[in-house]
Structure 1
Amino acid sequence: MDESPETRQRLSDRIEQRQQAIRSYLGRERPRRNRLSNISIVGSALAAMLTAGPAAGGTGFTEAVQGIFSLGDDSVVWRFLCLAAVILSVAAALATNFANSHALADRVTAAETANAQLDGLQDTLNFGHIPIDDALKLYQQYVAQVPFVDQVPSR
């Protein structure tokens, strides 16, 4: 392959474009992954806490809650605790399934890895420590790991 500076620059530009696409993807998907994880963790923990009170404290717990909130009937306490636990459990399950159904964590990790590999390739290419043929093969290997990242349109 042509080892000219123009060819090296074209490959360098292509690497930069792919990195822009990956950074854009990560900018959208990292917060989404974190949000779904947090909803799952917090929802599960709160649902467990809502069921732990009556389980550990029994009627004494529900009577205390009834007295604190001046409720006329302890069945209202039970209904509220059960309904809140169900809602939080469903939210946690949905968040977990949304994250898993799209393999979001795996995709974010793959994009982060490919971006770091492309950074290293870019540096090596810029300093001329790699033949163009080898650099092109590495570029193709790295971008093959992230087929779900859309290419940024050329300028």
Structure 2
Amino acid sequence: MPEESGIRQDLLDRIEGKRDGVNAYLHRVRPRRNRLTNISIIGSALAAVLTAGPALGGAPFSSGVQHILSLQDDSTVWRVLCLAALVTSVSATIATNLSKSQDISAEVIAAEACNAELEGLRTSLEFGMLPIREAVKLYQQYVAKVPFVEDTPAR
């Protein structure tokens, strides 16, 4: 029995080490995912707004903006709006594709699920509700879902 207690504690330490790694990963990656999502949403919305004015307002809109900005030529209004729409649209596209190409959202979801599974496993082990052999198998299954998370040393 004393040997099993040591193995149980070693597994608990590994679980906590992996959870520390998962939490560090989530702390680092969630803000990036949120930034890319916000850039995509805001950029798309701004591009739509910048093109909606001229499209819906036509010449009166262009003349109004020309007057407000004290521009000599109404073609400058169109150029500025088109350039701004282009920049915001390209920014939104880049942010969307970066997020998708790196599959950040899927990794965050997998890390959050793994963290919850490891928490449940830890609780089952602490209360002796799970044989160690089964707990080790479950631990291996859970951590295999997050190969992108670096391990932290066992406590």
Q: TM-score range by the shorter chain?
A: over 0.9
Shift of 1:154: 4.7
Aligned to 1:72: 72
Alpha-carbon distance in structure 2 between the residues aligned to 1:127 and 1:11? 14
Question: Aligned ranges for residues 73-88 of structure 1 at < 5 Å?
Answer: 73-88=73-88
Question: Aligned ranges for residues 25-44 of structure 1 at < 5 Å?
Answer: 25-44=25-44
Deviations 1:37-60 (A, max 9, x none): 000000000000000000000011
Aligned to 1:129: 129
Aligned to 1:22: 22
Deviations 1:15-46 (A, max 9, x none): 00000000000001111000000000000000
Q: Which runs of 4+ in 1 moved over 6 A?
A: none
TM-score, length basis structure 2 = 0.96
Gaps of 5+ in 2: none
Aligned to 1:142: 142
Deviations 1:64-90 (A, max 9, x none): 011111111111110110000000011
2:16, 2:154 within 8 Å by CA — same for their partners in 1? no
2:110, 2:145 within 8 Å by CA — same for their partners in 1? yes
1:121, 1:139 within 8 Å by CA — same for their partners in 2? yes
Alpha-carbon distance in structure 2 between the residues aligned to 1:76 and 1:153? 61
Aligned to 1:119: 119
Alpha-carbon distance in structure 1 between the residues aligned to 2:18 and 2:39? 31
- Sequence identity percentage: 58
Aligned to 2:58: 58
RMSD: 1.2
1:30, 1:108 within 8 Å by CA — same for their partners in 2? yes
1:50, 1:81 within 8 Å by CA — same for their partners in 2? yes
Shift of 1:3: 6.5
